[in-house]
Chain A
Amino acid sequence: MQNTLSNSVLSSRRDFLKKMAAAAAMTAAATMFPGIIFAAEQEKNIPNAANLDWKKGPCRFCGVGCGILVGVENGKAVAVKGDPNSSVNKGLLCVKGYHQTMCIQAKDRLTHALVKKNGTYVKTPINEALDLVASKMKETIESHGKDAVAMYTSGQSTIPEGYIASKLMKGAIGTNNLDCNARLCMASAVTGFLTTFGADEPMGCYEDIDHADYFITWGNNMAEMHPVLFSRMLEQKSRRGAKIIDFATRTTRSSTASDRSILFEPQTDLAVANAICYEIVNNGWVDKYFVENHCNFSKGLTNIGYGLEDNFSFTDKPEKIDFAAYKEFLEDYTPEKVAKYSRVSVKDIKYLAAIYGDPNKKVVSYWCMGMNQHTRGTWINNLVYNIHLLTGKISKPGNGPFSLTGQPSACGTAREVGTFTHKLPKGVVTNEENRKLAAKIWKVPVERIPSKPTYHATEMFRAVDRGDIKFIWTQATNPLVSLPKTSRYRPAMQKDSCFVVVSDVFPTPTSDVADVILPASWHIEKSGLYGNSERRTQYWDKMVEGPGETTPDAWMFIEVARRMGYGDLFPYSKENHVEEIFNEYRQFHEGAKHGMAPLEVLKKESGAIWPYVDGKSTQWRFNEEFDPACKKGSGFDFYGKPDGRAVIWQRPYEPAPEVPDKEYPFWLDTGRVIEHWHTGSMTRRIPVLNQAMPHAYVEFHPDDAKALEIRNGELIKVTSRRGSCVLPASINERGLPTKGQVFVPFFDENMMINDVTLDAFCPISKEPDFKKCAVKVEKA
């Protein structure tokens, strides 16, 4: 059935050589790279790509959502190029994008269902495996109740997949035990948007890059994590003199490319953001008209905890305040006071404030995991919105806060379809109106949809550990590498008390503990839709056949639902289920505030931005000039809130739950590298990327390395109160953490740094903080 990897590499190499010989290829290179003209010498060995069939779709990897064209020859994907018609990337991709299809023929691809029998995995026909999954699920519900089964999905699931998961769990079975890995990456952005604006997702779009004078990145290494957007920023920098300011805890490739790099002590971003507001308020830089007409002031509870104990719960109590009270609160955050513990100089704080405060400069703030994976993630999101609201720099071309996403459909699936425990495709389970709408479209009794949220991601795996959850099904994600404190959750998943089903494309440490492994189709082996960070929905058609019995995730859900007796709720056809599901789902969002483009449009164009009203994408929400949903004559209308006003939140600085001390003297920060994506299960199977970044490492500041007498490449044991991990040291290479901090990328399943991290989370968003815990280091 399959070639071995080395064979396929060899044969593609042979093809390649053949093609080289055949190549007269003058036009070939020009078709590969639109807009780039090749000199005759440069293209003489490039093969002719004239007989390729190019198919359009979004990239499989990060949340930027670049348009790709996949070259298909004889039913195999053999080339990838950027889609020149996509306004996101305009024909450009990154290292991962260009090589993405290379992993699908990996030798260890999951091509058939595997069922664990007496400790070994037995190849099983997919129908039998799905029978087993359905009967186990049914049995568990019968003997332990609905809330004993759970599903953990992904921001990499397509929109139809997320929708069917939600319909199955909430509509058919009637449990809110559905959460997804976007809880680990986007939840704080969501609660940030909801608390400030009452409506999720950014108001602006990528076109802001073409208008802004300043880009301020908050704890965000865009050169590696969102490289295509960063290149668009660099282009504006060299053509228009736009400036990039990098505000971070680590010196990275982004810092070297920026006009100014400002480093801060972990967790003090809260204080610096407030200090910027202090400067804005006290220098008279407040846009008074905007604040008086479009904003309210509120405060919430303080000292809100860190969620370290099981069954932790927290509900904020918002309380309206006035501007005078807010101004008084800011007195604690003068640049002089904040400089003392943030390690950011007074001059730098004033510099940042002056940029935001200058009415003639357009500013966009970008952030991703640095602000979201934060025990005060919701707060820091609120605080950056405060800066933009106070200065009125929001919802205008080139002005606005922009929360980036990490997964291709974190917005489209996790947030819009709502594969969270508290969410419904429109609204939340706690709202009766929202439940009624869902019940109507799903054709189920409204009482079946429970009104109380249950487990968020971290708590879900704690419940597995406690034995409360007896059946869990994960899809398109790898929690035993990506969860914090895997040292607790790996043994939890191995317990006999819980039946584990894993749907994936490749074997992972999560599938290693599964009772049933289901072979999923990869991205281009099925049709689907993704939604990117700028609210752009993108459709693609199936491009190639998947190997063996691989099946799209949505279809596996439908098959299981039918076997459980919910067939009447899932009347979709195998060939056309993606279209049928999307058309059903679109009904949830009808109207000017979230209308989605019809499928015919999405098939033709390289995506469309919602709200899609009267055949037009809405690029800037809440601004009457661009957004037809705004009240007439309002100028700006934050219609997510009943009174149309955004909230400026009074949020203090509170320390991290675990800070370096004598025994554990270093901060541990974790993150990514440009070559690898998520847990590396895909990118590490792409030979070029694996060669460029073969394993994880632990980065030191050169002074720390010198003091500890650590050489580059030496094996170092990183230990916290929860676990340890051995990695080679990296000094002065890809990045440079601040003194007293070490950095480890988390993609490497051989060096699991998440055994070391802490499962503390933001009490409001329940998103864990992977960026801060205390560790000690010693030579291994």
Chain B
Amino acid sequence: MKKRLGIISLFVILFIAFIAVWSYSYQIGLEEAYIPLEDDNSGIKVIPSESGVFERSQFALDYAEMPIDEAHQRSLKTYYNNRAYHGAPPSIPHPVANERSLGGNTCLQCHQNGGFVEKFDAYAPVTPHPEMVNCRQCHVAQKSNTLFKPANLVKVNAPEVGDNNALMGSPPMIPHQIQMRENCLSCHAGPAAPKEIRVTHPERVNCRQCHVPTDKPVSEIKAFTRTNSN
């Protein structure tokens, strides 16, 4: 009887230890999945709609000196073709390595910093928001070109190059939403940038000194009116 009690208590202890270890590791797992919105302990605080402005500026000089690989350039046409509409998340135009992964490191291997990928004979575009690791929440694969049912989709005209200036010759405005795209250099510099929108002066880094966004969402505020007009 004593022996049996001993064995039972041993199993009880083992079971409790198992529960403790299991819930501890479960908690750790939860913590990993949590992406902090605010980084308080580093010297620089985060400003989500602005934080990425200077993100890749350490590569700016490299970008400026990079030779252009004419044979493998992307164009604005292929860039837009890979999106459902202007501003939509691009789809994934290649087979995905790990179908069960939500993205993260699988995608970031190539899309965090870019570079030439032999297999696809192309430069990997750089993501402007590498901190958002659930890539496939927004980016879908393209596995077929056929439609389930045809539809009458109206395609919004995407902005073009060269007619986007407020004054003749003034710096072009930013014709797209800024949120998650604040880091200009990731799309507008480097070998994967579409040739029409590749910046000629990446070393300037403080892009929004000269380029104004036109896409600012406006809060519900009545228009600017004089109360006492002449």
Contact = CB atoms under 8 A, between A and B. Distances in A.
Nearest to B173: A688
Contacts of B225: 750
B139 interface: no
Contacts of A684: 224
A511 B171 CA distance: 33
Contacts, number: 198
A733 B50 contact: yes
Sorting the interface of chain B by its residue count into under 10, 10 to 19, 20 to 34 or 35 or more gives 35 or more
A735 B221 contact: no
A34 B22 CA distance: 64
B49 A734 contact: yes
B181 interface: no
User: Of B45, B196, B200, which is in contact with the most chain A CB atoms at under 10 Å from its CB?
Assistant: B45
Contact of A692 (B165, B216, B219, B224): B216
Contact of A256 (B54, B161, B214): B54
Contact of A728 (B37, B61, B221, B224): B221
B61 A238 contact: yes
Interface in B174-230: 195-198, 200-201, 203-206, 208-214, 216, 218-221, 224-230
Chain A interface mostly helix, strand, loop or mixed?
mixed
A253 B49 contact: no
Given A95-B212, A260-B43, A78 B166 contact: no
A517 B226 CA distance: 16
Contact of A690 (B45, B209, B211, B224): B224
A507 B210 contact: no
Interface residues of A, number: 83
B174 to A, nearest CB: 9
B47 interface: yes
B170 interface: yes
Given A39-B195, A45-B163, A691 B214 contact: yes
A507 B44 CA distance: 41
Contact of A92 (B162, B210, B218): B210
Contacts of A16: 163, 168
B161 A728 contact: no
A553 interface: no
B5 interface: no
Given A78-B168, A102-B166, A235-B203, A108 B47 contact: no
Contact of B212 (A92, A223, A231, A692): A692
Nearest to A38: B200
A255 B224 contact: no
Interface string A40-80: 01111111010010000000000000000001000000111
B226 A108 contact: yes
Contact of A702 (B38, B60, B196, B197): B38
Given A20-B163, A231-B206, 13 more contacts: A41-B195, A45-B160, A80-B170, A93-B210, A99-B166, A108-B226, A230-B206, A230-B209, A253-B50, A257-B206, A686-B166, A695-B219, A733-B50
19 contacts: A16-B168, A20-B163, A39-B198, A42-B200, A94-B209, A95-B212, A98-B171, A228-B209, A230-B209, A253-B53, A255-B45, A256-B47, A256-B53, A257-B205, A260-B43, A517-B230, A688-B173, A702-B38, A734-B47
The 8 closest A-B pairs by CB, nearest first: A45-B162, A32-B169, A227-B209, A512-B228, A688-B166, A251-B45, A98-B170, A692-B212
